[in-house]
Amino acid sequence: MAMHRKLLLAPVVALSGCALLQPTEDPTEARLDELERRMQSIERVMQNQSLVNMTQQVAAVERQGAEMQGRVESLEHNSETTADRQRQLYADLDARIQELESSLSARNTVGVMDGGTLAPGQLPLPSGSDRDNYQAAFELLKDGRYEQAGMAFEQFLVTYPDSELADNAQYWLAESHYVTQNFDRALAEFQAVIEAYPRSRKVPDALLKTGYCNYELKSWADARASLTRVQADYPETTAARLAGQRLKRMEDEGV
């Protein structure tokens, strides 16, 4: 009987021994695994949250950029509008100034051309250009107002010594004295044309007139020298033809 019990208990013991031999789960390891899983979960959440924050920040920067662009465009528009207004104001002001200058020039021209006197050292058109004053002086000469024309051309040369019309002004200044038979002064002014403006188209005529002046002053040799020079230096010109006529006249007169 006792032997029988031992035999029955043997499998149980064996089974119990097998159970005791199986490894049991380490609580510490399990705890670490759990913490690891939680940490990974938290990291994923943090990563997702960082992406959200970055997306929000990018969106905020884009909004700020759009606002800045809008402000820049607004400033550019305002600047262009202001520049347009300034240009318009300048154009209006310039037009008004030109109108006033034209009115003043016309008033001064009318005064001189209607018989007003021109003081020494005064231009016909004080606010006008060199061309305007040259033309005004020339009109005085054509109208036979030789004294006024002479003063106008003389002041022109003082005021505009570098004008491209200076050689012409010098010639007509001399002419204003020649027609009033002030031959001494005319001779000096015609010689000034030749000396100061040797390349001027007025030189042949000025040289011819020096011959005429010397003729009137009875300086026969000087007259003949000037007239002969015109023929030699400027042949085939009107001045040369006129010089020949005066030389013929002198020959006929025996001077």
Using the 3D structure, point to which of 180, 214, 230 is the last residue of a domain. 180
Average pLDDT over residues 41-45: 74
**Predicted local distance difference test score (pLDDT) of residue 18:** 44
Would you state the pLDDT for residue 7?
Answer: 45
DSSP state of 124: S
List b or e across 128-138, with b for residues whose CB sees 16 or more CB atoms inside 10 angstroms.
Answer: bebeebbbbbb
Instruction: Establish if 108 belongs to a structural domain.
Output: yes
Residue 24: inside a domain? no
Instruction: Look at residue 4 in the predicted model and tell me its pLDDT.
Output: 47
Based on the fold, state whether residues 205 and 251 are members of the same structural domain.
Answer: yes
Range of the domain at 152: 82-180
CATH number for position 134: 1.25.40
Global model pTM greater than 0.85: no
Decide if 172 contacts 138 (C-beta within 8 A).
Answer: yes
Residue pLDDT, tens place only, 44-57: 766 766 666 767 77
**pLDDT band of 23, cuts 50, 70, 90:** low
The answer on 221 and 176 residing in a single domain is no
Do 226 and 163 share a structural domain?
no
Residues, the chain: 255
Count of domains for the chain: 2
Instruction: Specify if 225 maps to a domain.
Output: yes
Place of tokens 């024309």: 149
pLDDT tens-place string over residues 168-182: 999 999 999 999 999
**In a domain? residue 127:** yes
Amino acid 175: pLDDT: 98
